[in-house]
Structure 1
Amino acid sequence: MEQVIGVLKTIHPKRSLLLSVIVTLFTIGFFWYLSVSHTPGENWGFKALFPTLFVLTIALISRAPFESLLTGVIAGLIMIDSSNVVSPLSDTLSSVMGNETIVWIVLVCGLMGGLIVLLERSGCLGSFSDWLKNCIKSRRQSLLTTFFIGLVVFIDDYLNCLAVSSSVKKVTDHYNVSREKLAYIIDSTAAPMCILVPVSTWAVFFSGLLEENNLAPEGGGLSTYISAIPFMVYGWVALLLVFLVALGVVGNFGPMKKAEARAQAGQPIPDDYNGDSMEAAPSIGRKQTSSFVGMLNFIVPMLILIAATVYYEIDLLRGVMVTLAITVAMYYVQGLLTLEEQFKGIFEGFKVMLYPLSTVVAGFMLKSINDQLGMTQYLVEVVSPMMTVELMPALVFLVMAAVVFGTASSWGSFIIAIPIVVPIALSIDANMALVIGALLSASSFGSHACFFSDSTVLAAQGAGCSPMSHALTQLPYTAIGAVISFGIFVILGYNM
């Protein structure tokens, strides 16, 4: 693939434009043919995979996740109805933007971005980073510190991706750690850690889903979820693997090796990163504070954020709203920033998060198209005949991992999949805790590995690298974790 990208870069601009036009026309023609040759009312079958495969191909070549997703959405709409694309595109966008989950994600990520800008501009983030520098004496310690902070911030993967990276980025830069490796460590302690802790947004969502689908009695969803935690194999494997990477036992290979070589030469930030991040905002604190007070001004908001989120039943939106209110008051009373400077900073944080959020929105649009094409149902139905009681956990992990990897919908896909998977599991008397563990493992893997998932995009944004640089450098490690997890599920299936 790297050779292909290299060849494309050497093409003359006019020829490149001509090639782009030809590829675009061919693509439109191909999906138009699929549409006109389809019999209304029939299932799409394996053709339902084409928009997602198209997105993955374009993303690998262009390294532009949002543009690739948007292209895949349009291709899928052409498949569904070649005579009318504009209205369905508008309706899909309106439907997604009106989705409660999307509204929650936009508000949470935007406000988190605003909080990080306040921490940066007040100088408090710098004080905490300087304190970490004094405590950390080696490159390995900087990586292990990032790993352990990620373990502590287990409430939500969004909080993990944005808060951890902002606190350690200057330290890892000091020791010439590539931003890609930083993003990998952060991402690996996000979703994989969140599924293993019953006090997290993931646990709240999936325990409710278990009750809705009669996999747990009313009020017993969380206890059922907890019983499946030992079998959430991918979460355990991913955490062990990233710990070994941070420790230096597992070395660098593939794209990560090149990224680390570049960082060791003095360039932690990748070439394809545009630098549009919270770190670009300079400290404009009007009053100088001691390093100790500055450190407290960083730590206290982080503790309030975690405590408030837990208090409001693991609702990160309410947690960040409370934290912002208290932080604004703290900084104003101390004379660090005026109210006008703080509110401008919050809006600037929203602005910085717009591109990552647009990618998440486009991912939800692709999921909507895939739901109409029946992609998830098709994959489950293809594998269902092979689902024996021994192989079911491994096959459930394999199929749903592929679905979430291709659609970036780590939660939404399971609303469709669970009503299909559960009856099969019950009919063959499969171990339900093991099946639930396989489902959550698949969700964690998809969120971790997908090129355009919310976790991947936010980890890249927080660390300061492009989503595709992060996704491609961590892909070999996530693939190793998936293969090991699949093997463990096979062993567990035959022994339980």
Structure 2
Amino acid sequence: MSSEITQPISIREYDDNRMSDSPVRWILFYGLIMAGFAWLSTLHVEGESYGFHSILPVTLILVVAAISKKALESLFAGIIAGLLLLDPANLFTGLGDISMTVVMDETIAWIVLVCGMMGGLINILERGGSVLSFGDLLATRIKGKRSTMLTTCVLGILVFIDDYLNSLAVSASMKNLTDRYKISREKLAFLVDSTAAPVCILVPVSTWAVYFAALLEENGAAKEGGGMMLYIEAIPYMAYGWLALVIVFLVAAGFLGDLGAMKEAEQRAQNGQPVPDGIKQDGFDTSGIKKVPPIVGLLNFLLPMAVLIGASIYYEVDLLLGALVASLFTIVLYYWQRLLDFTQLVDSMLDGFRVMLHPIAMVCAGFMLKEVNDQLGMTPYIIDSLSPYLSKAMLPALVFATMAAVVFATGSSWAVYVITLPIVLPMALELDISMPLVVGALLSSSAFGSHACFFSDSTVLSAQGSGCTPMQHAVTQIPYVLIGAVLAFISFLVLGFMMA
């Protein structure tokens, strides 16, 4: 809506011990669970709500993820469970139908093309020596671990136009430096991810702002042409975005220490192993990088980035068109300088698509899960369950908590609002509460879900670009995410009572 040090975002996960127990035990474990979901389907009366049962597939995903530490496998376990709950007799038909629905979705097509184009562009920058030149320049200016982490955060803020661009470009350009100062890849992923979605919601010139401004107009929260103005008015109330920024800078500056699994990751990095166990690098061959003068290498990095941002803004904040223009510009620039021949440039683009297959598969699986959840009626069930507790003062906090849970459960920080805005906005209008405050709560919940969910697009891309698995990234950053969520909830409680 991604040889270490010189290699970019190509990662493949390996875990030889994950099936250390007998395969028979795992088959029995999953078989019993799936049989249970099939049995639950017999209790459902056609035409009635699935009620509490609608949240069970997501619960299964979280349990399987905690046990297996595998994001993609967990997602498919939840998808299969949800389809069994819907209609066990037509499991394969249902799986085929939602697969086709997702593949034909315009949003998925956009994500696939953007991820592939961004992967190809960054691969060209790597093979042409530009990322290395940029990293070497930073190395001459930055001395120390704290400065490296603060620089990563600042770069994340500067690349504000889209969280995908942030997740891939910043991580690729900072890996050399973070490795040098023994910063774990998990912490790099946290620094990048915390300045992705949280920053994008705070800047009106971003893909997030354009998308949500249009949704606000479509759902009657603002008059035609007034969606962006309402969005801008809501920026001061986007509590989670502001708090996530404060927290990541406190961590980078050393005022907030390593918590939970992050402490173990940092200890491992201090012992000389910044890349976590279970990661094997493959893919891009950067052994033939041509040496260029530092200033030329720097320009070869900055110019494509400037074209990417400028073209995206020119085409009404469309990162896909920006990536197409930037890729063509970079191909011509590098060919003209004879850094790579035409065959190498084309191979670089194709390799970029190839190494992004894993995150693309994760995002597609997330959309399949959302389709299953929609058929089960999970989102309306959660909202209806909290409706009796709604009041003018409590609405912002409950909107944040409810929608944060929904986005976290579905991994879809954009698509879910097509369903929920027609429900939430009329509530706010009926209670006559400040619309900017409610929009701020909605955008905060979206940023939280994108930030916290281990299979959301920005989390997967941040992990891919940084050099760790989505689960390693999610587990290490969750303490900081929860701190931000709790403080945001309290903020909306206070604001709700103050403005009631």
- Normalized against structure 1, the TM-score is what? 0.96
Partner residue of 1:5? none
The Cα of 1:345 is off from its aligned counterpart by 0.7
Contact 1:65/1:451 (CA < 8 Å) preserved in 2?
A: yes
1:253 aligns with 2:269: no
The Cα of 1:274 is off from its aligned counterpart by 2.7
The Cα of 1:48 is off from its aligned counterpart by 0.3
1:388 aligns with 2:395: no
User: Following superposition of structure 1 onto structure 2, how do residues 105-124 of structure 1 map, counting pairs within 5 Å?
Assistant: 105-124=111-130
Aligned-partner Cα distance in 2 for 1:12–1:109: 31
The Cα of 1:461 is off from its aligned counterpart by 0.4
Aligned-partner Cα distance in 1 for 2:319–2:110: 9
User: Following superposition of structure 1 onto structure 2, how do residues 174-253 of structure 1 map, counting pairs within 5 Å?
Assistant: 174-253=180-259
Partner residue of 1:54? 60
Among 93, 107, 112, the alignment partner of 1:87 is 93
1:397 aligns with 2:403: no
Among 296, 299, 318, the alignment partner of 2:299 is 296
Partner residue of 1:315? 318
Aligned-partner Cα distance in 2 for 1:360–1:126: 29
The Cα of 1:10 is off from its aligned counterpart by 8.6
Structure 2 residue matching 1:448: 3-state secondary structure: helix
User: Following superposition of structure 1 onto structure 2, how do residues 84-163 of structure 1 map, counting pairs within 5 Å?
Assistant: 84-163=90-169
Partner residue of 1:448? 451
1:486 aligns with 2:498: no
Partner residue of 2:434? 431
Contact 1:456/1:471 (CA < 8 Å) preserved in 2?
A: yes
1:284 aligns with 2:288: yes
Write the letter of the residue equivalent to 1:64: K
Among 30, 45, 48, the alignment partner of 2:51 is 45
- Normalized against structure 2, the TM-score is what? 0.95
Partner residue of 1:305? 308
Partner residue of 1:474? 477
Contact 1:237/1:481 (CA < 8 Å) preserved in 2?
A: yes
Deviation track 1:265-301 (CA, whole Å, cap 9, x = no partner) reads 1100000223246xx531424x532111111111111
Among 352, 355, 362, the alignment partner of 1:352 is 355
Aligned-partner Cα distance in 2 for 1:244–1:476: 14
1:24 aligns with 2:24: no
Instruction: Classify 1:313/1:394 alpha carbon distance in 2 versus 1 (closer, same or farther; 3 Å).
Output: same
Structure 1 residue matching 2:413: 3-state secondary structure: coil
Contact 2:309/2:322 (CA < 8 Å) preserved in 1?
A: yes
Aligned-partner Cα distance in 2 for 1:12–1:450: 25
Aligned-partner Cα distance in 1 for 2:328–2:187: 34
Write the letter of the residue equivalent to 1:473: T
Write the letter of the residue equivalent to 1:89: L
The Cα of 1:21 is off from its aligned counterpart by 1.3
RMSD after superposition: 1.4
Write the letter of the residue equivalent to 1:186: V
Structure 2 segments unaligned to the other structure (5+ residues): 1-14
Aligned-partner Cα distance in 1 for 2:392–2:216: 20
Contact 1:120/1:281 (CA < 8 Å) preserved in 2?
A: no
Structure 1 segments, 4+ long, off by >3 Å, are 8-13
Contact 2:18/2:68 (CA < 8 Å) preserved in 1?
A: no
Partner residue of 2:424? 421
User: Following superposition of structure 1 onto structure 2, how do residues 334-353 of structure 1 map, counting pairs within 5 Å?
Assistant: 334-353=337-356
Deviation track 1:235-292 (CA, whole Å, cap 9, x = no partner) reads 0000000010000000001000000000011100000223246xx531424x532111
Write the letter of the residue equivalent to 1:228: A
Structure 2 residue matching 1:239: 3-state secondary structure: helix
Instruction: Classify 1:10/1:162 alpha carbon distance in 2 versus 1 (closer, same or farther; 3 Å).
Output: closer
* Count of matched residue positions in the alignment of Structure 1 and Structure 2: 485
Partner residue of 2:5? none
User: Identity rate of aligned residues, in percent?
Assistant: 53
Write the letter of the residue equivalent to 1:308: A
1:377 aligns with 2:380: yes
Aligned-partner Cα distance in 2 for 1:463–1:114: 16
Structure 1 residue matching 2:372: 3-state secondary structure: helix
